[in-house]
Amino acid sequence: MSETSEIAGKTTIAPEVLLTIARLTTLKVSGVSRMAPVPPSMGRLLKKGMQQGEGVAIEILDDTVYVDLYLILMSEVNVREVSRTIQREVARAISELVGMNVGGVNVHIEDIDYPEEASPAEH
C-alpha cells in the first residue's frame, strides 16, 4: 500500500473568500487609493451567481471567476498601467490561491484622489 494515497473529498470555496482575495490584492497595488462602492444595478440584482462586497463584484460561471473592481486611484499615476497591474495581480492571486480559472478582471475607475491644495487666499 502506498504511503501517499489520496483521500477522496471535496474542497468548497466560499464566494466571500474570492471577494477578500480580489479586494486585498487590489489594495496592495501601488496607485490604488481605496475601493469605491459597487454601483447598484437592476441587472446585477437579478443575477443568481453574483456576489459583491466592498468595491468588488464577482460572478462564477462554470467554475470560472469573473471580477469587477470599483476603484479610486491616487492622482499622478498612469491609469492604464495601474489597471493592467491590477488585472494581472488579481487574476494571478485567484488562480494561485484557490486554483480557479479567471475569465476576466474588469477595472472601473470611479474617481481620482487629488491632494487638497491650499486655496489662493492662503498664499
What is the rounded distance in angstroms from the CA atom of residue 60 to the CA atom of residue 100? 10
Cell numbers that stand for 62 in this block: 462554470
Q: Indicate the CATH number for domain 15-115.
A: 3.30.70.1350
pLDDT at position 122, please?
A: 52
pLDDT at position 120, please?
A: 53
Each domain of the chain, given as residue ranges in start order, spans 15-115
pLDDT tens by residue, 28-58 = 999 999 999 888 774 555 455 667 788 999 9
pLDDT tens by residue, 86-121 = 999 999 999 999 999 999 999 999 999 988 764 455
pLDDT tens by residue, 53-83 = 889 999 998 889 999 999 999 999 999 999 9
Read off the amino acid at residue 51: Q
> What average pLDDT does range 10-14 have in this prediction?
83
Beta strands in the chain (DSSP E): 32-35, 50-53, 56-61, 64-74, 101-113
pTM above 0.75, yes or no: yes
